[in-house]
Chain A
Amino acid sequence: MNKKEQLLIKHVEQLNEEEVLKLSDELLKEGMAPLRLLDLVNEGMNRVGKLYESKDYYIADLIMAGLIFKQVLELDKMTAHFRVKHNNKIGKVVLGTVTGDIHDIGKDIFRGMLEANCFEVVDLGVDVPKEVFLKKCEEYQPDILGLSGVLTNTVDTMKEIVDVFKETGVRDKVKIIVGGNHLTKEVCRFIGADNFANDASSGVRICKKWMDGINESERRVIDNG
């Protein structure tokens, strides 16, 4: 890794908004591949996450990291790259904060990271009722449904949503990931989701792994067909 690359990671880690955008633009103009730039920014974001965990950073810092990340994705060369790649999306995710809850900082970071990782995301916003999740999944036929929440009672709500998918016979058509720092393995099992994430990066890792599996089995079907 050269010095400029290291510096970019450092600027993201230290949440230096202007410097990140300036250096990112410079690196792209020098010919850096957008995906490489994304890797570097992701590394900086991971470090921000660690600093939050260690209590050095605050919620406002996570939001700043999200704003910086979003602006990097909006740089001309980045949008051009992802527009060209539009037909090469690796999967589709319907996402929302469940009814009764309006927290969306984690959800928005998750959404940004999914988009940066070539997912198509349909974000339903906050306080989304189970009927809307069901309707939008019927409409968009996503590979993955993401349910987000922070409040304790969202566990109940998430379970109700999974249950309605079961009752209507569409549960097996979609992988369900639940996200929030109150979720544990036991709670995930209770909800009936396929997996859970306490932070955006691990959520994205899970979704990518799922899509590897789904896309691989689709390839096999085509090869054998």
Chain B
Amino acid sequence: MNEVVIACQTLSDELELAMQETGCRFPVIWVESDYHNDPSQLRTKLQEEIDSQRNIDNILLAYGCCGNGLVGLRATGANLIAPRTEDCISMVLSQPGEKFERLKQTYFLTKGWMEGSKSIFVEYDRALKRYGEQRTKRLFDVMLKHYNYFMLIDTGAYNPADCLSKAEGLARNTGLKLVVAKGDIWFLKKLLTGPYDQDFCVIPKGESVNISHFGLVQKELSHQVL
């Protein structure tokens, strides 16, 4: 079987570690994390990458449903396989076999997330330059008014200490509390190794991703094992 991974840059540390631990060294096409903010553009970009693959059996998508950015993708030349999960946060915080409950009032961070070119840190620095301290405070009071915590997720793929001071700085400036929580890369490891059971959306070549694949409806019908 020929496999290729298409992955969001946000998950680069986690995917690298998963490949290291599983020994599955498939070629990886990295897609910029900026697409997070625009599911339509993400869909277009992913479709371009999918369409450009040749002689591949399985395309492994290191993505969640990502704002329905994956819904509508066509498996034009190979099967598509993606974790059946909402996004990269649920991907690294969920436990096998357990329903993921997203913590409320929490803004999630990982090193990959913090390094994104449109991350909240970039937003903050740019706002300071453009609007000054006082206006930036007003803007972030609005932006984060329903949040109480920044949660740095320790996925095991990077040293959280490297991110702490930066995260603490933003928490201080925005009046949020910083907490650290343990995450996991089991989902990415299973994406590389299989088996592709109920934890995955499997779209056979020639078919398209629809909302049912991500478990929104008729879970049992969309479940296939390759």
Seen from chain A, the residues whose Cβ lies within 8 Å of a Cβ on chain B are: 17, 53, 55, 58-60, 63-64, 66-67, 100, 102, 104-105, 126-127, 150-153, 155-156, 159, 180-184, 186-187, 190, 198
Which of B72, B105, B142 is close to A186, meaning CB atoms less than 8 Å apart? B72
Residue B139 interfacial (CB < 8 Å): yes
Q: Kindly provide the distance from the CB of A157 to the nearest chain B CB, expressed in whole angstroms.
A: 11
Residue numbers of B with Cβ under 8 A of A are 34, 37-40, 64-69, 71-72, 86-87, 102, 104-105, 118, 122-124, 126-127, 130-131, 135-136, 138-140, 142-143, 146-147, 210-211, 214, 216-217
Q: Is the CB of A102 within 8 A of B135?
A: no
Across the A-B interface, give the 3 residue pairs with the lowest CB-CB distance, nearest first. Answer: A182-B67, A102-B146, A60-B127
Closest CB-CB distance, B114 to chain A, in whole Å?
16
Q: Which residues of B contact A180 (CB under 8 A)?
A: 67
Distance (whole angstroms) from the CB of B207 to the closest CB of chain A: 15
Contact indicator B67/A100 (Cβ below 8 Å): no
Contacts of B104 in A (CB 8 A): 100, 102, 127
Q: Given A63-B142, A104-B146, A152-B86, are A183 and B135 also a contact pair (CB < 8 Å)?
A: no
A180 to B38, CA, bound (A): 11
Question: Which residue of the partner chain A has the closest CB to B140?
Answer: A60
Does the CB pair B68–A182 fall under 8 Å?
A: yes
In angstroms, Cα B211 to Cα A17, docked, is 42
Residues in A neighbouring B135, C-beta threshold 8 A: 17, 64
Closest partner residue, chain B, to A52 (CB atom): B37
**Can you identify 12 A-B contacts, CB atoms within 8 angstroms?**
A55-B34, A58-B118, A58-B126, A58-B127, A104-B146, A150-B67, A151-B86, A153-B102, A159-B216, A181-B40, A186-B211, A190-B216
